[in-house]
């Protein structure tokens, strides 16, 4: 067999075509990112000081940049995954970020680190490492508390602030959720009190009562819950939650107790959007009031949604958000 015949029959010949198309021609249709770095789909670990790190991920590309702050405390970024179908489509670049001791980030499990002040400084460390400036910060629930704190301390870096489904004080939140509880049937209230008086709020029966009477109506009204919500809350770090919030949504006995920024909202000068919902466990009237107290504030309230209006009133939620981001 001569060399020419070998090449025409051997593995090199087989490798030179793909689906009947010469590989050189096929290769001209392939696009690759630059070869000057290892590509990881936008994921990064960020040093936040003290020997600790948190996980972030960039999604999409655009001149408008948004950093997302998840709730809980102790949940994670996953319930924001619905944003992927709306923000990149509109040329908006956004960043996921799991707070310390949440799913993808480091878990030192040190309660001394679980303070409002340290988490606020953590957000600034993330911003600095990502190189964000004149960006939008969106905080949902507990993340909305952090967004307010960040806006008060570091607003020179913000182009705008979105406070989603969070009021301006812990007392306001507890007052409204207890009002919701007062409308439960008497037997349900008695059963809740039974477990609370016995300090058994982690009992599955108590959690089932919460889910059926509070979460299914005032957290997310879809049945079943969207997969990102289920995964995020399924991995919720309850230790962080109890240290900061308390035993349940009905009380604030942790480090969030006494938190109140109503009088300080007037000092937030950047454009601000508050987002709430008729069936939220946060009082929608608080969202409206907050918008009037911030000099450049505006409010959007869902008439059919709940705490996760980003899912159970999705089209209207994102229409309002995108109008704010693109104005």
Same domain? For 101 and 187 the reply is: yes
Number of domains comprising the chain:
2
Tell me what pLDDT residue 148 has: 98
Residue 37 lies in a domain: no
Residue 36 included in any domain: no
Catalytic annotation present for 280: yes
Q: Catalytic residue at 312?
A: no
Instruction: Quote the pLDDT of residue 3.
Output: 47
My answer on whether 181 and 321 are in the same domain is yes
Bridge partner residues of 54 (DSSP): 46
Model confidence over 140-165: pLDDT tens digits?
999 999 999 999 999 999 999 999 99
Q: Catalytic residue among 76, 98, 280, 313, which? A: 280
Is 199 in the same domain as 229?
Answer: yes
Q: Tell which residue, 57, 64, 53, has the closest CA to residue 88.
A: 64
Domain holding 143, by residue range, is 43-326
| Nearby residues of 129 by Cβ (< 8 Å), 6 or more positions away | 44, 46, 47
- Collapse the DSSP code of 54 into the 3-class scheme (helix H, G, I; strand E, B; otherwise coil) and give the result: strand
Tens of pLDDT, residue by residue over 285-294, are: 999 999 999 9
Question: How confident is the model over 198-209, as pLDDT tens digits?
Answer: 999 999 999 999
Shared domain check, 181 and 135: yes
Considering the domain architecture, whether residues 5 and 47 belong to the same structural domain is answered as no
| 41 pLDDT tier (thresholds 50, 70, 90) | very high
288 with 230, same domain? Answer: yes
User: What percent of the chain stands above pLDDT 90?
Assistant: 90
- What integer pLDDT is reported at residue 12 of this predicted model? 44
Q: Tell me, yes or no, whether 177 and 81 share the same domain.
A: yes
CATH number for position 80: 3.40.50.1820
pLDDT (tens digit, 9 = 90+) per residue, 103-139? 999 999 999 999 999 999 999 999 999 999 999 999 9
At 21 the pLDDT is 54
Distances from the Cα of 210 to the Cα of 20, 66, 165, 248, 249, angstroms? 61, 33, 19, 9, 9
**Is the same domain home to 19 and 94?**
no
| Per annotation, catalytic residue among 52, 307, 312, 313 | 307
| Structural domain contains residue 38 | no
Same domain for 82 and 221, yes or no, is yes
């Amino acid at each position: 067999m001569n060399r020419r015949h070998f090449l025409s029959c051997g593995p090199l010949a087989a490798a030179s075509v793909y689906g009947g198309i010469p590989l050189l021609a096929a290769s001209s249709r392939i696009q690759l990112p630059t070869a000057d770095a290892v590509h990881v789909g936008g994921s990064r670990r960020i040093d936040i000081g003290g020997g600790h790190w948190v996980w972030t991920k960039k999604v999409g590309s655009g001149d408008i940049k948004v950093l997302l702050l998840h709730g809980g405390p102790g949940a994670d970024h996953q319930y924001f995954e619905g944003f992927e179908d709306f923000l990149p489509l509109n040329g908006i670049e956004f960043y996921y970020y799991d707070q310390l001791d949440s799913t993808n980030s480091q878990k030192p499990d040190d309660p001394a680190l679980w303070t409002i002040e340290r988490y606020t400084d953590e957000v600034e460390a993330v911003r600095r490492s990502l190189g964000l400036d004149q960006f939008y910060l969106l905080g949902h629930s507990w993340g909305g508390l952090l967004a307010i704190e960040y806006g008060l301390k570091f607003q020179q870096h913000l182009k705008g602030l979105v406070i989603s489904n969070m009021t301006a004080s812990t007392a306001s939140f507890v007052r409204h959720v207890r009002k919701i509880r007062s409308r439960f049937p008497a037997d349900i209230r008695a059963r809740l009190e039974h477990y609370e008086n016995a300090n058994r709020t982690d009992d599955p029966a108590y959690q089932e009562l919460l889910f059926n009477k509070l979460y299914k109506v005032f957290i997310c009204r879809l049945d079943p819950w969207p997969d990102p919500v289920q995964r995020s809350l399924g991995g919720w770090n309850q230790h962080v939650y109890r240290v900061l919030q308390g035993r349940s949504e009905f009380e604030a006995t942790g480090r969030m107790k006494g938190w109140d920024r109503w009088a300080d909202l007037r000092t937030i000068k950047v454009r601000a959007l508050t987002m709430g919902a008729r069936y939220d466990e946060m009082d929608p009237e608080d969202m409206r009031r907050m918008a009037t107290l911030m000099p450049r504030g505006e409010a959007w309230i869902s008439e059919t949604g709940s705490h996760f209006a980003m899912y159970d009133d999705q089209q209207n939620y994102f229409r309002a958000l995108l109008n704010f981001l693109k104005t």
